Amino acid sequence: MTDAFVKERHDAPPGFFEVEAAGLRWLDVPGGVPVVQPLQVSPGRLVTPRLHPVPPTGAAADEFGRRLAVLHDTGARHFGVPPDEWETDGYIGTIELPHSLEPTKAWGEFYASLRVRPYLRMAYDQGTIDDHQLAVFERLCRKLTDGAYDDPAEQPCRIHGDLWSGNVFWTADGVQLIDPAAHGGHRETDLAMLGLFGMPQLERVLRAYNEAHPLTDGWRDRVGLHRLHPLLTHVVMFGSSYVPRALAIARKYWR
């Protein structure tokens, strides 16, 4: 296979590449953002077409924003649902990503129970956060579970789930998406992650998205809340340097 990109991991945990392939297929929807598709998948290997990067342009950013809204609007059965063809947990980076086979009451309950608390437990068990810090995060989890940030009009969306700038690939044919942690989630989560570590043309992407699907008032004020989960995954994978930023978010949103 001459123009293919091969990812290999001989010690891959069960389903590591298979759930990624399922996510790539699930995110490939008519009118949505193009998603690189699996050519071969096995327990230790995933092969996809090789993409060739070009500099980002404003026109490509506009198209990306519009198409991302289409992808999200395709919907999901409930918050936390895994991609079609998958019925267990997935992965984000190198660590597990819990999925839910049964609907949760609302987004806040899902986010607290499956996107915040699992990584708090991992970080606490590692000794990366202490009892006092854990209590701060738990206060926010209680507020989330009580519905403080729920919007009954916001239905579960089909999201990429790990949409930082490194997984947005700019090609001559426009943006293509790679490396998902796909699940049923909140549209604001993908949008918040786009800017977590900076992304070129971000404001054009967001403006085009908002024109295609107007966002709920105050969405910019909730960006930090949606960044808490990826920051906690970084706490688990890379250590305590990410704790202050995650704590600042928790303190902001439990007040």
User: Which residues are designated catalytic?
Assistant: 162
Dihedral in degrees, nearest 10, Cα atoms 228, 234, 236, 238: -150
Q: Which of 81, 76, 109, 108 is nearest to 97 (CA)?
A: 81
Which residue is listed with tokens 């000794």? 127
- The structure tokens 């296979």 sit at 1
Q: Residue 70 and residue 73: Cα distance in Å, rounded? A: 5
Strands lying side by side in the sheet with 4-8:
4-8, 45-49, 40-42
Count other C-beta atoms under 10 Å from residue 193's C-beta: 24
Tell me which H or E stretch contains 158.
strand 157-159
CA distance 166 to 234: 15
- Between CA 185 and CA 71 the distance in angstroms is 12
Q: In the Cβ-directed half-sphere of 176, how many Cα atoms lie within 13 Å?
A: 16
Tokens of 138: 């738990």
Phi then psi for residue 84, to 5 deg, are -55, 150
